[in-house]
Amino acid sequence: MVETKVIYMSFSFTARFFTVIAGLLMLSQCRRAEVQQQSVKPNVLIILTDDQGYGDLSIHGNPDINTPTLDSLAHESAQFDRFYVSPLCAPTRASLLTGRYHLRTGTISVSKGMEIMQSGEVTLAEIFKANGYKTGIFGKWHNGQHMPNHPLGQGFDEFFGFCGGHWSNYFDTELEHNGEKVQTKGYITDILTDKALAFMENNKDSSFFCYVPYNAPHSPHQVPDEYFNKYKAKGLDDELASIYGMVDNIDVNVGRLLKKLDALGLDKETIVIFLTDNGPNGVRYNGGMKGIKGSVDEGGVRVPCFWRWPGIIKPGAINLPGAHVDILPTLVDLCGLSMIETKPLDGVSLAQALKGEKQVLERELFSHVAQPQLPIKAFPASVRKYPFTLIVQAEVKALYNIAIDPAQETDIRQQNPDIADQLYEDYQAWFAEVSQSLQPIPRIPISPASKVIELPTYESTFGGNLRYKEGHGWVHDWLVNWTSTRDSISWEVESPKDQLFTIYLNYTCPEGQVGSQVKIAIGNSSIVQKITDAYNPDFMPSPDRVKRKEVYEKLWKRLEMGILEVPAGNSRIVISAPVISKSEVAELKSIELERRQ
């Protein structure tokens, strides 16, 4: 009996021993797997839409729109309940890419050179590239079109899309691929997605940073019939049916991106971020908030923001307010990147909150909006220190408790003067700091890295009778009413060395107006050519669902002017008409500088 008992005890001890060992091994393997999962540098896919508001998602209570893919992504993601961007496109993009408030980067507004981000800013793409990532952007850049402000000069290996603030035609349009013009076939959102899919496929065996800034649902209101008809059938007007149709198409294309990650086996190895660049581009459902695009009110700057990384980022609501400036430091943290030297960041890492850990963050978030004109004004502006938001329009201030009053219906400034005064004082100090480094609109760089440099008239300075065709001088606009020999158009440029170019003029001129002489001068050198060929095509077909605000698109005649040298240093390129044959010289789109070999 004793022997039997001893054998039994020995067996029991052995069993327990091996059970403990097996448990320790399993725990060790789990921990090792967790460490490995977090030590592997994940891919990153950022999807940014243009002028899509917080309310343009069915998950946010909109009864008229259908966004099943984005709703599903939200459920799989950490969702920031309050995530803030800038009121306009280019400023948001500059802040997202640099982790710094847009005024620090030189990006002030959306056109006339005020959208340009200083080339000395360090972008997410540059950081990822320095860490061995392949980097690609597929869509709208809107932070400068000339090297080195171009995407290829700011850390991206591949660029497919356009550099301006909007595009004129969404069907069968001409886009840019790494500096070359490319004629496309199909709808622009589908095409941009195709290129992003190819980029992920081509780089599936190495870490990649894929930035997909779609231009929809920005105007012009162009969308395939199947999407437009779907929302017209609901009784919506043409504008809303167009916008919701564009968002619906975005939803389908986001689904294509996510399915590709799954097919490549990369869904668990990729951080997916979805957000929009400002409030909605018009008055429509916006979750009960006040304000639209261009407004510093809640509805102009609060946007959806979803982060997904299965197994690392915890799905669910995040009540901690986040902002576009936080994206860079958060990704550096999550991806375990080696940080390269940058200018001081305004954002902070939100990695703790994304992983489901407690994170306390006491700070203020600032919003500013400026028209494309100088000198820049300090207002309109807003400052947020949750739950309070101070809105300042000129010298008129209003304070709101956003936690209980998201519609900003009750101004509580009189009841809380100390809070309002402190927020206002903090804003003034912030604006003084971030605006002190602002410089005049930068000269256009004549980069030796560019084979062809186009100088559009919307980037020019002009005088006399000249005016813009549409009026605002937004991207793609051109000059008309060239009627006087005193009229002139000029561009301020800078060149690192003497460079020789063949100069071309892009113009249109009706049959009865040919014969004028055009002069292009740089310093003491000039060339003169006569406009002898009439060319006056109609506007290109534009399948707009509603009348557009932007100028329509047309083709241009290219006239070879001759050869000029752009000298080293700063200079001015000036166009004038010493002889006007009839009543008007021509309509002028741009000049092109083609490098001499």
Residues designated catalytic? 89, 142
Angle made by CA atoms 102, 107, 108, in degrees to the nearest 5: 95
Helix (H) / strand (E) element for 295: namely: none
Q: What DSSP string describes 499-544?
A: EEEEEEEEEEB-GGGTT-EEEEEETTEEEEEE----B-PPPPP---
How big is the chain by its Cα radius of gyration, in Å?
Answer: 28
Residues 6 or more apart in contact with residue 18 via CB below 8 angstroms: none
Instruction: Report residue 160 CA to chain centroid gap.
Output: 14
Residues in the chain: 597
How many Cα atoms within 13 Å fall on the side-chain side of residue 588?
Answer: 31
Strand partners, 492: 572
Strand-pair category, 569-579 with 488-495:
antiparallel
- φ and ψ at 119, to 5 degrees? -65, -20
Contact (Cβ atoms closer than 8 angstroms) between residue 379 and residue 397: no
Whole-number Å distance between alpha carbons of 453 and 594: 7
Burial class of residue 246, CB neighbours in 10 A (0-12, 13-18, 19+) = buried
User: Distances from the Cα of 535 to the Cαs of 89, 166, 330, 507, 551, in angstroms?
Assistant: 35, 26, 53, 8, 19
What SS3 class is residue 116?
Answer: coil
Beta strand spans in 207-279 (E): 208-213, 270-276
Helix (H) / strand (E) element for 408: namely: none
Whole-number Å distance between alpha carbons of 294 and 282: 10
For 260-267, the CB contacts below 8 A with 24+ separation are 260/197, 260/200, 260/201, 261/43, 261/45, 261/200, 264/200, 264/201, 264/204, 266/43, 266/200, 266/204, 267/310
User: Distances from the Cα of 39 to the Cαs of 34, 117, 270, 344, in angstroms?
Assistant: 8, 33, 13, 26
Whole-number Å distance between alpha carbons of 567 and 572: 10
Q: Nearest CA to 102 among 275, 277, 274?
A: 277
Provide the Cα torsion 419, 364, 108, 337; round to 10°.
180
Tokens for 338, please give them.
Answer: 């080696």
Q: What DSSP string describes 304-329?
A: -EEEE-TTTSPPEEE-S-EEGGGHHH
Residue 537: Cβ within 10 Å count: 10
Residues 6 or more apart in contact with residue 7 via CB below 8 angstroms: none
